[in-house]
């Protein structure tokens, strides 16, 4: 048995999962569409155009990942599409044609059904806007089908073009021995060739700055790519084109199960300074860990550092730390933290966002990946949340309920309240729909952290606001290990 790391859009969510066999489709009864919740103004017309979708998680047998693209007609129909599905036992269903249907509720929650030769898949999602959404796959023990998976929807705004520039790549998954694997790096496109640097953490052993080479080809929205890595030799991928600045990746190597994405790096010199918020998760030794926190970067020193973390279902609150960092060269930077002996390597997508990988080169007992974003304290206060609707995505595990995935929509009240509706599933009690959920929040305007522990979906959480539109959260309950995000909802693309 093994634990599996799941990744969530703009925030990594750790699920403490047990996998024993394979497949990613299910044949459960189709639930009704979401209903109720706040009136934001979304309709079926909000999902119109070509959307790249991804999902990764486990069934009762195997870890799996899916990537694909579909066309939504704005009226509830999926008229065409393609998907690729792979699992860590070597099972693959590649370049599969799909059709389906969908519904979108007024608060942005929705249901998506995709069907192809390998079977039917049911997703529940929430839209942040007509351009982006977060989803989980329906399939639970209540229906004798165990599926724990999370993912995202991304609108393809224009026809695909040739790749150009440097792309910051993030990969999560398992190596050929089913040990946890993670890598980040920067690969530059020259014609159809790729070259750059990869930092790898394989089974908690860190290999820095591996010189990687490879190539790609793109036909329509679906392409193939390959590049070298320190372990596993050459990795081969299917990728889906979202935009000139975004690709979704899925490994086609039968003995190396990987999924991830590539974001185009902003041109020019990238500075790295000021207040930063991070959300990372993975493994510390053989146990799961999730960390959310913030620090200030200034002239090589990390100051004002504190975090909340859950290590193996033991919650640690407001833990202070310090450290140092080396300024970025071509977007790559490193840092040493006093907490848990962590070191970080980061690759900047822009001056305000980095992909990060945690490691410990001395004891080789840490493997975490995640996201770091520049914090804008100038716009942070409790009032900055009040009156806004937020899409919620939350996933992880509970000692009593097992694995947990949830999407929903909340309205921030002026008195610190959160009201809305969520759809969720747990291993213990299966799928639950249209759950009327309440919560509460607070924001310390000097740090962005909640002044007291808040609540969402009945779970005690600590909030870390990046800005008024992006709020990381981590469970404050000692028996649960959740991470997630609140993202401002907008009817504009």
What are the backbone dihedrals phi and psi of residue 136, each rounded to the nearest 5 degrees, phi first? -135, 155
**Tens-place pLDDT, residues 344-356:** 999 999 999 999 9
pLDDT at 28 (0 to 100): 75
| Structural Rg of the chain based on CA atoms | 21
Instruction: Report the pLDDT averaged over residues 154-171.
Output: 97
Instruction: Report the pLDDT averaged over residues 59-78.
Output: 95
Enter the DSSP assignment of 11: B
Asked whether the predicted pLDDT for residue 14 surpasses 60, the reply is no
Instruction: Report the pLDDT averaged over residues 169-186.
Output: 96
Instruction: Report the pLDDT averaged over residues 399-410.
Output: 92
**344 vs 121: CA distance, rounded Å:** 37
pLDDT at 338 (0 to 100): 87
45, two tokens: 């017309």
The neighbouring-strand residues paired with 228 are: 234
What are the backbone dihedrals phi and psi of residue 73, each rounded to the nearest 5 degrees, phi first? -90, 0
User: Thinking of the domain 44-155, which architecture would CATH place it in?
Assistant: Beta Barrel (2.40)
Alpha helices in 137-274 (DSSP H): none
Asked whether the predicted pLDDT for residue 7 surpasses 50, the reply is no
pLDDT band for position 57 (cuts 50, 70, 90) = very high
Instruction: Report the pLDDT averaged over residues 169-183.
Output: 96
Q: What is the CATH number of domain 378-488?
A: 2.40.128
pTM, to two decimals: 0.94
b/e string for 413-447 if b means 16 or more Cβ within 10 A?
Answer: beebebbbbbbbbbbeebbebbbebebbbebbeeb
Coil, helix or strand at residue 178? coil
Q: What percent of the chain is modeled with pLDDT above 70?
A: 94
pLDDT at 108 (0 to 100): 98
pLDDT band for position 492 (cuts 50, 70, 90) = very high
Least confident among 57-61, 293-297, 300-304? 57-61
pLDDT band for position 8 (cuts 50, 70, 90) = very low
Q: Are 483 and 475 in contact (CB under 8 A)?
A: yes
Asked whether the predicted pLDDT for residue 228 surpasses 80, the reply is yes
pLDDT at 196 (0 to 100): 98
**Tens-place pLDDT, residues 90-141:** 999 999 999 999 999 999 999 999 999 999 999 999 999 999 999 999 987 7
**271 vs 257: CA distance, rounded Å:** 34
pLDDT at 458 (0 to 100): 77
**Tens-place pLDDT, residues 261-297:** 999 999 877 889 999 999 999 999 989 999 999 999 9
**Tens-place pLDDT, residues 198-207:** 999 999 999 9
| Pairing mode, strands 343-350 and 165-174 | unpaired
CATH 2.40.128.120 location in the chain: 165-264
Asked whether the predicted pLDDT for residue 454 surpasses 90, the reply is no
pLDDT band for position 34 (cuts 50, 70, 90) = very high
pLDDT at 16 (0 to 100): 29
pLDDT band for position 27 (cuts 50, 70, 90) = low
Least confident among 24-33, 369-378, 418-427, 456-465? 24-33
Least confident among 142-156, 179-193, 233-247? 142-156
pLDDT band for position 24 (cuts 50, 70, 90) = very low
Please identify, in words, the CATH class of the domain defined by 274-375: mainly beta
pLDDT band for position 452 (cuts 50, 70, 90) = confident
pLDDT at 410 (0 to 100): 97
Enter the DSSP assignment of 453: -
pLDDT at 22 (0 to 100): 36
Q: Is 36 left (phi over 0), alpha (psi -120 to 50) or beta?
A: left
CATH of 165-264, one of 2.40.128.120, 1.20.140.10, 3.50.50.60, 3.90.420.10: 2.40.128.120
CA–chain centroid gap for 367, Å, is: 16
**5 vs 171: CA distance, rounded Å:** 11
327, two tokens: 């300024």
């Amino acid at each position: 048995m093994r634990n599996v790391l799941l990744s969530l859009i703009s925030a990594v969510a750790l699920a403490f999962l047990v996998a024993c066999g394979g497949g990613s489709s299910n044949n459960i009864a189709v639930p009704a569409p979401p209903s109720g919740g706040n009136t934001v103004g979304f309709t079926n017309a909000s999902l119109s155009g070509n959307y790249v979708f991804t999902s990764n998680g486990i069934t009762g047998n195997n870890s799996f990942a899916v990537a694909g693209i579909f066309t939504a007609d704005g009226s509830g129909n999926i008229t065409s599409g393609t998907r690729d599905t792979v699992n860590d036992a070597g099972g693959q269903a590649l370049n599969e044609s799909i059709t389906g249907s969908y519904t979108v509720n007024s608060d942005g929650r929705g249901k998506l059904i995709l069907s192809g030769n390998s079977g039917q898949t049911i997703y529940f999602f929430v839209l942040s806007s007509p351009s982006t959404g977060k989803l989980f796959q329906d399939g639970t023990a209540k229906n004798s089908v165990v599926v724990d998976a999370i993912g995202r929807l991304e609108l393809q705004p224009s026809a695909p073009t040739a790749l150009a520039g440097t792309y910051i790549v993030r990969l999560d998954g398992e190596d050929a021995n089913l040990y946890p694997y993670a890598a980040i790096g920067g690969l530059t496109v020259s014609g159809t060739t790729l070259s750059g640097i990869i930092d790898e953490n394989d089974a908690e052993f860190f290999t820095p700055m591996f010189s990687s080479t490879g190539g790609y080809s793109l036909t329509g929205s679906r392409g193939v790519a390959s590049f070298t890595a320190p372990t596993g030799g050459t990795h081969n991928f299917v990728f889906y084109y979202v935009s000139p600045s975004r690709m979704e990746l899925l490994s086609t190597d039968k003995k190396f199960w990987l999924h991830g994405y590539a974001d185009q790096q902003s041109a020019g010199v990238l500075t790295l300074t000021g207040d930063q918020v991070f959300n990372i998760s993975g493994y510390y030794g053989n146990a799961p860990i999730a960390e959310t926190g913030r620090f200030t970067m200034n002239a090589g020193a990390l100051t004002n550092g504190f975090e909340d973390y859950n290590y193996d279902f033991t919650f640690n609150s407001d833990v202070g730390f310090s450290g140092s960092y080396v300024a970025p060269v071509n977007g790559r930077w490193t840092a040493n933290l006093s907490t848990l002996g962590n070191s970080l390597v980061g690759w900047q997508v822009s001056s305000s966002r980095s992909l990060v990988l945690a490691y410990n080169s001395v004891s080789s007992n840490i493997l975490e990946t995640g996201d770091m974003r520049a914090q804008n304290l100038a716009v942070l206060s409790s009032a900055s949340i009040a009156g806004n609707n937020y899409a919620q995505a939350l996933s992880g595990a509970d000692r009593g309920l097992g694995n947990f995935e949830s999407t929903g929509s909340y309205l921030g009240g002026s008195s610190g309240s959160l009201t809305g509706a969520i759809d969720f599933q747990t291993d213990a009690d299966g799928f639950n729909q249209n759950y009327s959920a309440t919560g509460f929040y607070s924001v310390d305007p000097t740090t962005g952290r909640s002044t007291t522990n808040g609540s969402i979906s009945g779970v005690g959480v600590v909030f870390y606001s990046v800005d008024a539109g992006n709020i990381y959260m981590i469970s404050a309950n000692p028996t649960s290990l959740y991470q997630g995000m609140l993202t401002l909802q907008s009817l504009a693309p």
